[in-house]
Homo-oligomer: A and B are copies of this chain.
């Protein structure tokens, strides 16, 4: 990546972060590429990947292993839970408070040093839900 030395600023990286900040859809690399391509006609996928990993390293962005074959990203770096629609695959934030007590509970059942946890809820999003009842 960039061992030790300082980072410069680039239009591309600035826009990638900005784009992540103004959306709540947990975008994929490909989606971001499509979005920014008109603006940077010579944009390459490698640039997206490299900058996302720099931004992640800097703590400005979260990489989400969504359970699909591809990763998702978000600028919302605070801990929170996710809902994933099993029909359309969309991923949405849950406002639900984080249950740190679950870590304590987990500790009671092991001798592991449990530090954090992640919850993914699954089901049907509101859109897919109404589509289903419409037949």
Contact = CB atoms under 8 A, between A and B. Distances in A.
B94 A109 contact: yes
A103 B106 CA distance: 18
Contact of A65 (B67, B81, B117, B125): B67
A115 to B, nearest CB: 4
Copies per complex of this chain? 2
A102 to B, nearest CB: 7
Interface in A61-88: 65, 67-68, 81, 83, 85-86
Interface string A102-135: 1101101111111111111111111001000000
A28 B106 CA distance: 24
A107 to B, nearest CB: 9
Q: Which of A105, A110, A112, A125 has the most CB of B within 10 A?
A: A112
A122 B103 CA distance: 9
Contact of A123 (B67, B86, B113): B113
